[in-house]
Amino acid sequence: MKKRYQVVIIGGGPVGVALAVELGQRGIACALIERRREPQRIPKGQNLTQRSVEHFYLWGVADALRAARILPPSYPMSGIVAYRDLNNEYWSAPPLREIVNPYYFQENERLPQYQAEYVLRTRLTQFENVQAWFGWTAECISQDAAGVEVAIAEDGGPGRELLQVDYVVGCDGAHSIVREQSGIVRGGADFEQLMVLALFRSPELHDKLKRFPPRSTYRVIHPDLNGYWQFFGRVDVGESWFFHSPVPTNTTRDNYDFHALLQKTAGFSFACHFDYVDFWDLRIAVAETYQAGRVFIAGDAAHSHPPYGAYGLNNGLDDVVNLGWKLAATLNGWGGEALLASYSKERRPIFKETAEDFIEAGIRRDREFLRRYSPERDPVEFARAWQEHTNASAPNVLTYEPHYEGSPIVCGPPGGVSSARGSHTFKARAGHHLPPQLLSSGRNVFAELGSEFTLLAFDGEDATAATFARAAQALHLPLNIVRDSYDQGRRGYEAKLILVRPDRYIAWAGDAPPADTASLLAKSLARDRNGQRDKQLVRPRE
């Protein structure tokens, strides 16, 4: 007999498990299909942004995430960047993501991706409405107007099942079969460069890097390497490391001296023991759309790229937080197909621009710097340019502020365009992340947000709150209203009324009630002025 779910998530890497938790919290009946029984113990995806840690807070596991950190508490998360090798006189320790901590409710964090996956997998066990099929592979997805069917097979066993669902989300990584089978094409840039990823242990490397202040990563830019990085990352303090670097196209595990490569990058000799060596192609790929009918893609299935700047996992987590509430709203009867369509409209431009303006532009900037300046040609000019070049990372962190100003479901500024580039401020702006603030109770506003929409009403009239509540009720939209004085840090919002979406983005902000509250709420759900929905693919549960 076919098994029936509302949502099937294919791929239970960090992004798929995160979506299962998001939907689990929202009471959606879903299945998670993951071929691996245990997370892959590769210490990638280490650098979690403040926004990602906010998600863990709202999934109820921020403390568990911090406890799963391997580096000692408060060990610096940023890195060293050096010219040519780590023995060079030209190096710097620029500040990184920590400089935007005040604009988020949670500080950024650093831990291997598999540690975060264990935290999420543990949380997942608490939802009776989520069934995890670890050790199963999705083989075939087919959809028609009535729903989607997913054929799954037990790995190494006889089990075969056919799942019948309303929606499928492919979180099945860069080689996604969900993307392929639903006919979604990818564009992007192939740098035609093979990269090695190695895990090794070396207490000696740890000792020899003591000439630098304590840092988590060590990045080398070398004039021969076209702007591509050589990168040592700590897994712990004292012994374990990961390393990635360009290697010649025909490199295999057996025909190359990786120990010599590590020592050349370090600029000194050291003993090491390899635990793992693998390869990947340096390329950026972004799907043309994140949706085909009832099928969605998220995480690396939708966008893959070199790990330059730590955008991958963080963007994947933002994808599922954006999609999760829209799927649940639709299945619970107050969303709709137009709301679901806003997922691709909001998320895709962000990643496309992240790829072009941050990742590719960063490679080009390094390449141009290495081409133009050389300490051998002109040491004085080089020293000045090196300072300037390495100081450029701080402005990049400050301007990386993904927002949906151009989204059809937020009341952004006239002519607003969604972008990965923005600015950090405490002002409440429609289409942007809600900055944190303390309420007069001493609690942070984030601790008071509901799981659905929230209206923050500062010094608001009873009548205004009542109008919002009535309009929300008419749309069956669950609305939490938080009232407080317009005082202290809350004045920093520069708005007395703020409508916050379930993904903690601001749908609308103003000082006075909107002229037509019902239309405002309807727009936030992609409904028309009368609150009407587009044709429903799914009948809400009674």
Ligand X SMILES: Cc1cc2nc3c(=O)[nH]c(=O)nc-3n(C[C@H](O)[C@H](O)[C@H](O)COP(=O)(O)OP(=O)(O)OC[C@H]3O[C@@H](n4cnc5c(N)ncnc54)[C@H](O)[C@@H]3O)c2cc1C
Residues of this chain that bind ligand X (CB under 6 A) = 10-16, 33-36, 44-47, 113, 137-138, 171-173, 177, 197, 244, 299-300, 307, 310-314, 316
Instruction: Give 211: exposed, middle or buried? Use CB within 10 Å, 0-12, 13-18, 19+.
Output: exposed
| Comparison of 13 and 431: residue with beta carbon closer to ligand X | 13
Q: How many CB atoms lie within 10 A of CB 145?
A: 7
| Comparison of 244 and 533: residue with beta carbon closer to ligand X | 244
Asked if 111 and 216 touch (Cβ cutoff 8 Å), the reply is no
Rounded (5°) CA angle 289-292-295: 115
Q: How far is the CB of 276 from ligand X (least distance, A)?
A: 11
What is the C-alpha to C-alpha distance for residues 295 and 3, in angstroms, rounded to an integer? 18
Q: How many CB atoms lie within 10 A of CB 134?
A: 14
What is the C-alpha to C-alpha distance for residues 27 and 25, in angstroms, rounded to an integer? 5
| Comparison of 30 and 138: residue with beta carbon closer to ligand X | 138
Residue 444 DSSP symbol: B
Helix (H, G, I), strand (E, B) or coil at 400: strand
What pairs with residue 91 in β-bridges? 82
Query: In 212-228, which positions are buried (b, 16+ CB within 10 angstroms) versus exposed (e)?
Result: eeebbbbbbbbeebbbb
Alpha helix ranges (H) inside 176-311: 177-181, 203-208, 258-266
Q: How far is the CB of 14 from ligand X (least distance, A)?
A: 5
Q: How far is the CB of 286 from ligand X (least distance, A)?
A: 13
Asked if 386 and 89 touch (Cβ cutoff 8 Å), the reply is no
Q: How far is the CB of 386 from ligand X (least distance, A)?
A: 25
| Comparison of 15 and 165: residue with beta carbon closer to ligand X | 15
| Comparison of 46 and 390: residue with beta carbon closer to ligand X | 46
| Comparison of 172 and 366: residue with beta carbon closer to ligand X | 172
Residue 77 CA, distance from chain mean position: 18
Q: How far is the CB of 416 from ligand X (least distance, A)?
A: 26
Q: How far is the CB of 182 from ligand X (least distance, A)?
A: 13
Helix (H, G, I), strand (E, B) or coil at 34: strand
Q: How far is the CB of 388 from ligand X (least distance, A)?
A: 26
What is the C-alpha to C-alpha distance for residues 280 and 249, in angstroms, rounded to an integer? 11
Asked if 85 and 93 touch (Cβ cutoff 8 Å), the reply is no
CB nearest ligand X: which residue?
A: 13
| Comparison of 177 and 411: residue with beta carbon closer to ligand X | 177
| Comparison of 30 and 445: residue with beta carbon closer to ligand X | 30
| Comparison of 315 and 390: residue with beta carbon closer to ligand X | 315
- The C-alpha torsion from 498 through 501 and 503 to 505, rounded to 10°, is -40
| Comparison of 15 and 499: residue with beta carbon closer to ligand X | 15
Alpha helix ranges (H) inside 257-336: 258-266, 312-331
Q: How far is the CB of 253 from ligand X (least distance, A)?
A: 17
Q: How far is the CB of 35 from ligand X (least distance, A)?
A: 4
| Comparison of 302 and 479: residue with beta carbon closer to ligand X | 302
Q: How far is the CB of 474 from ligand X (least distance, A)?
A: 38
What is the C-alpha to C-alpha distance for residues 519 and 150, in angstroms, rounded to an integer? 38
Q: How far is the CB of 304 from ligand X (least distance, A)?
A: 7
Residue 277 CA, distance from chain mean position: 26
Q: How far is the CB of 171 from ligand X (least distance, A)?
A: 5
Q: How far is the CB of 128 from ligand X (least distance, A)?
A: 22
| Comparison of 16 and 227: residue with beta carbon closer to ligand X | 16
Q: Which two tokens stand for residue 241?
A: 């490391």
What pairs with residue 152 in β-bridges? 138, 161
String of DSSP letters for 41-73:
----S-EE-HHHHHHHHHTT-HHHHHHT--SPT
What is the C-alpha to C-alpha distance for residues 491 and 486, in angstroms, rounded to an integer? 6
| Comparison of 219 and 490: residue with beta carbon closer to ligand X | 219
Q: How far is the CB of 44 from ligand X (least distance, A)?
A: 3
Asked if 353 and 420 touch (Cβ cutoff 8 Å), the reply is yes
| Comparison of 35 and 201: residue with beta carbon closer to ligand X | 35
String of DSSP letters for 95-142:
--GGGGGGGSSS--EE--HHHHHHHHHHHHTT-TTEEEEETEEEEEEE
